[in-house]
Amino acid sequence: MNNFKAWVLMGLISGLFVLMGSFIGGRSGALLFFLISLAINFFSFFYSDKIAIKMTGSYPVGRHEAPELYEMVERLCRKADMPLPKLYIQPTEQPNAFATGRSPKHAAVAVTEGLLRALSRDELEGVIAHELAHIKNRDVLVGTIAASMAGAITMIADMLTFGAIFGSSDDEEDGGGIGALVMAFLAPIAAMIIQMAISRQREYLADETGARITGNPQGLANALLRIEGLSMRMIPMAVNPAASHMYIANPLSGSSLASLFSTHPPIPERVRRLSEVKY
């Protein structure tokens, strides 16, 4: 059900992108924007991992530098029947983690220095399994495409606003200018809501899949509660907001956004659902 909901939302955000093209240039505009959406998806498919690692300032870690981490990830990968991803560490005290990459064969998992220090072994296993689940379910690719499309819609909305304000008087007389302003205002909001809904659905799915990989839902539940408690006492992580959807918990937790505009489901609800996982 989580997969179905996510792909329906992906269809909606792509449809919104094409609708804006149609609004600007009719059928030819819709076709042009459809081709642009394909180009965005193609770029996201091949370069999402490199972009994510660069945005977060994470550095690669070798087997000799983190033998226990490697042993844990290798064991969980065997249970999940997937190849070993590249491992990175992000130099920040906030306990968090993220996964990136277009497929299980081209993937990476990054954990923060604070996460390695703060969690017990069972809790860390739960977090790693959650990130491996994102890779196994190809959530990273879905989230990156959704974020790219939402960003493109916002950019086009800015163009519409400029055109509506500085367009010809003929456009204004037939309502084109007002229509463009309305579209420019509503489209980015709709895109953002859809993007964040996609992110929340993929988090629920990764929680469930990760719990099945470890066979210990309580380990992940405890990790989420500990991460939330520690993050609330810390300054939000210095991270690009465009990358916030990748993390296991919202790294910008200092902001009080309504649930509709949140990239992550509420921790209590995630813990409740984990208690119902059958494995």
Radius of gyration of the chain (CA): 20
Burial class for 36, CB neighbours closer than 10 Å (0-12, 13-18, 19+): middle
Token couple for 186: 């509503």
Q: How far is CA 158 from CA 37, 97, 115, 155, 256, in A?
A: 17, 33, 39, 5, 26
- Sheet of 106-112, strands arranged across: 59-60, 86-90, 106-112, 97-103
Which listed residue (125, 131, 208, 228) is catalytic? 131
> How far is residue 71's CA from residue 78's CA, in Å, rounded to a whole number?
11
- Residue 203 known to bind ligand: yes
- Residue 106 known to bind ligand: no
- Residue 264 known to bind ligand: no
Q: Is 215 left (phi over 0), alpha (psi -120 to 50) or beta?
A: left
- 228 carries an active-site annotation: no
Residue list for the binding site for Zn(2+) = 130, 134, 203
Catalytic residue ranges = 131
